Chain A
Amino acid sequence: MERPGERIEITISSRFENIELVQVIAEHVCENAGLDDDGSHWIGMAVREAVANAIKHGNKLDVRKRVRATLDLQGSQLDITIADEGQGFDPTKVSDPLNPQNLMKTSGRGIFYMKTFMDQVSYTFTPGGGTSLLMTKNLAGASGIASTK
């Protein structure tokens, strides 16, 4: 019998200590879907980076602003949305951390890690403010870092 879909939503205030809440939920969703520990860990890592960016760069650490995380599992397809209430940014201006000129920079690797561990990463910007990040992963056959791109 096909496993029914699952949708989990959580809203947190913009505090770094809340990042792990969302990360742990994401890892549990993956484990419950049958993904192994490594695969679940790396998806949790992508979620951690996304929530950290939403809190720090999106909501600028304003605890009155919220971050909304939605995890939607349908079959083996996991869609994760992380939305903040910030002013958005230009993704094309994010530098490549693998460029030798950027290798020794102390920041700028979060989005790279998300793209490494997930199948697709895309952004939507709301005119009135707020950035919504969508990350997708097909859990079928997903495992450790070797299976990521």
Chain B
Amino acid sequence: MKVTSRSVDEVEIIKLEGKITIGAGDSQLRESITNALNQGHNKILLDMSGVTTIDSSGIGELVGSYTTVTNRGGKLKLLHLPAKVNDLLHVTQLITVFEVHEKEADALKSF
């Protein structure tokens, strides 16, 4: 998985591209969140538009990331959720946990 990040208005936008699956991408997601927090960013927007595949391990990492950021007093939100990732969050009722935005500008304003 490719991970790139940029800062806009104190929000760290982390773009994930590729697979977030067991043994491939799940640990990278965790590291990217840890790095952002260690650098002092606690407003994190995960741009999911480039995610091609996610499995239960990847969903678990999203949940773990949310908990980690929240426990550090921050906020983690999702941007540009692919339809199939959205479906997986819906069937497990996790869609009620995550704040999801379709437009970056709207997401930035919400923090």
A104-B67, A145-B91 given; A109·B22 CB < 8 A? no
Instruction: Give 1 or 0 for each of A60-98: 1 = CB within 8 Å of chain B CB.
Output: 000000000000000000000000000000000000011
Q: Are B93 and A52 in contact (CB under 8 A)?
A: no
Q: Are A103 and B56 in contact (CB under 8 A)?
A: no
CA distance A19 to B24 in the complex (A): 11
Q: Which of A104-137 contact B (CB under 8 A)?
A: 104-107, 109-110, 112-113, 116
Q: Are A98 and B57 in contact (CB under 8 A)?
A: no
The yes or no answer to A28 lying at the interface (CB within 8 A) is: no
Interface residues on A, range: 20 to 34
CA distance A74 to B31 in the complex (A): 45
| Chain A residue with the shortest CB-CB distance to B88 | A113
> Given the complex, which residues of B lie within 8 Å of A52, measured CB to CB?
22, 55-57
CA distance A145 to B89 in the complex (A): 12
- Chain A, interface SS category: helix
> Given the complex, which residues of A lie within 8 Å of B93, measured CB to CB?
98, 103
CA distance A110 to B60 in the complex (A): 10
Q: Are A113 and B87 in contact (CB under 8 A)?
A: no
CA distance A37 to B91 in the complex (A): 19
A52-B55, A113-B56 given; A17·B23 CB < 8 A? yes
Interface residues in chain B, defined as those with a beta carbon under 8 Å from any beta carbon in chain A: 21-24, 55-57, 59-61, 63-64, 66-67, 84, 87-88, 91-94, 97
Could you write out 30 A-B pairs with CB less than 8 Å apart? A16-B24, A17-B24, A19-B21, A19-B22, A45-B55, A48-B55, A49-B55, A49-B56, A56-B22, A97-B92, A98-B92, A98-B93, A103-B92, A103-B93, A104-B66, A106-B60, A106-B61, A107-B56, A107-B57, A109-B59, A109-B92, A112-B56, A112-B91, A113-B56, A113-B88, A113-B91, A113-B92, A116-B91, A145-B87, A145-B91
Nearest first, the 7 A-B pairs at minimum CB distance are A16-B23, A106-B60, A109-B56, A106-B64, A110-B56, A145-B87, A52-B22
